[in-house]
Amino acid sequence: MKALVKAWAEPGIWCQDEPVPTIGAGEILVKVSKTGICGTDIHIYNWDDWAKRTVPVGTILGHEFAGVVVDRASDVRNVEIGQRVSAEGHLIGGGSRASRAGRFHLDPDTQGIGVTVAGAFAEYVKLPAFNAVPLPDAIDDEIGAILDPLGNAVHTALSFDLVGEDVLITGAGPIGIMAAAVARHVGARHVVITDINPERLALAARVADVTPVDVGREDLRDVMGRLGMREGFDVGLEMSGAPPAFDQLLDCLVMGGRIALLGLPSAKVPLDIGRIAFRMLTLKGIYGREMFETWHKMLAMLETGLDVRGVVTHRIKADDYRFGFETMAAGRSGKIVIDWN
C-alpha cells in the first residue's frame, strides 16, 4: 500500500510502499478515505527536537482520518465491517490508576497513532476497536478527518463555563479558530482571537462570529474598550504556544479569570507566579481529548449547527503531499485534507 513514512532521521517525509497492516485480537482494519495534516505532523516533517526524541524512524505518520472498516478481529463486537469511522488517536496502556478508573485521557502509558505507532497517512490503518468512533450519516468524511483537532478545540473551549462570558483566544491556527466557533456555539458573549498572521485572522472571521485582532498592529485594550469590557476577559484559551501571547493574555483577564492552555511553546517559558496568585487565576493544561466525552459533545454540536467546514482551505490528493506540508508549515492555510481515494 502507499504510505507517507518518516523514513530518515532528517527533515522531510517520504512516500513509499508498505505492507497492509495485519490485525490482531481486538483490532480493526480501516481503508482510509481522507486524512488531515496536523501541526504535530509539521513538527515531525521539520524533524525538530521534540520529533527526534519521540518518533521512531520508519513510522507511518498521520493520526487525523476517516475511513471504512474492512476487517475486524473475531473478538470485536462493537464495530461492524462497512461502518464509517474516525478514531481517537491516543492508544492507552490500560494499567494505570487513571485508566482503570475510566479517565483514559490521563493514562501516562499512552501511545500515539502516527507518532509512536504506525498511522493513517496510508491506504490502510489498523487500530484497537476500542478507539473507533462511528460517524453519523450527517458527518461526511472530510469533517470526520478533522475530528481529532476539533476535539482539541472542544476539550479546550469547554474546560470552563462560557455562557455569557467574554473569551480571549490567543493563536488563530486551525484549532484556535475552531475553538472560537465552539465558544460562540455554546453561548459566549464576546469572542476575540489574536494573532500576527493576517491570513489566519481573515480565515477566523470567515469561519466564526469573532473579533479578530492583529496584535502587531492594534492594541488589544482598545478593542476591549470598543466592546464595552471594563474589567477584562473572563476566560482565556491559549492556543499559540507563543510566550508574548500568553503574557498578554495574563494581563487582559479579570480577577479570578480562567485559562485553558493547549499551545506548546518551543522552549521553556519564564512564569511570574505572583501575577497568577495575586490575581487568583486558574490555569488548566490540555492535551488531546477526554475519552470519549469530548467525542460525544463535538458530534452532538456538529449535528445541531456547529459549522467548522470553512477551516478546511486546501483539499489535495495523496501524491501532492509535499505541497500540503510546505503550505501548512509556512502558515498559508487552515486545515489541509488529503484524499486517499
Position 196, amino acid: I
Q: Which residues have C-beta within 8 Å of that of residue 249, sequence separation ≥ 6?
A: 168, 170, 233, 236, 238, 259
Position 58, amino acid: G
Whether 178 and 263 map to the same domain: the answer is yes
Q: Which of these is catalytic: 43, 63, 155, 185?
A: 43
Say what the pLDDT of residue 264 is. 85
Are 31 and 67 in contact by the 8 Å Cβ rule? The answer is yes
CATH number at residue 50: 3.90.180.10
Total number of domains in the chain:
2
The bridge status of strand 132-134 relative to strand 167-170 is unpaired
pLDDT digits (tens, 9 = 90+) for 175-229: 999 999 999 999 999 999 999 999 999 999 999 999 999 999 999 999 999 999 9
Residue 165 lies in a domain: yes
Whether 243 and 314 map to the same domain: the answer is no
Is residue 40 annotated as part of the catalytic site, yes or no?
Answer: yes
124-126-131-135 Cα dihedral, nearest 10 degrees: 30
CATH number at residue 181: 3.40.50.720
Q: Which of these is catalytic: 40, 194, 211, 313?
A: 40
Whether 112 and 8 map to the same domain: the answer is yes
User: b or e along 241-255 (b: 16 or more beta carbons within 10 Å of the residue's beta carbon)?
Assistant: bbbebbbbbbebbbe
Residue 301 lies in a domain: no
Q: What is the pTM of this model?
A: 0.95
Range of the structural domain that residue 130 is part of:
2-146+308-339
| Mean pLDDT for back-to-back runs of 10 residues, the chain (341 residues) | 98 97 98 96 93 96 98 96 98 94 93 97 98 97 98 98 98 97 97 96 96 96 94 97 93 97 86 93 96 97 97 97 95 96 91
Whether 123 and 226 map to the same domain: the answer is no
Whether 90 and 206 map to the same domain: the answer is no
pLDDT digits (tens, 9 = 90+) for 1-37: 999 999 999 999 999 999 999 999 999 999 999 999 9
Whether 116 and 163 map to the same domain: the answer is no
Residue 296 lies in a domain: no
Residue 294 lies in a domain: no
What are the CA-CA distances from residue 270 to residues 41, 76, 81, 243, 263 (Å)? 27, 49, 51, 9, 15
Using a 10 angstrom Cβ sphere, with 0-12 exposed, 13-18 middle and 19 or more buried, the burial of residue 135 is: buried
Whether 333 and 218 map to the same domain: the answer is no
Whether 222 and 91 map to the same domain: the answer is no
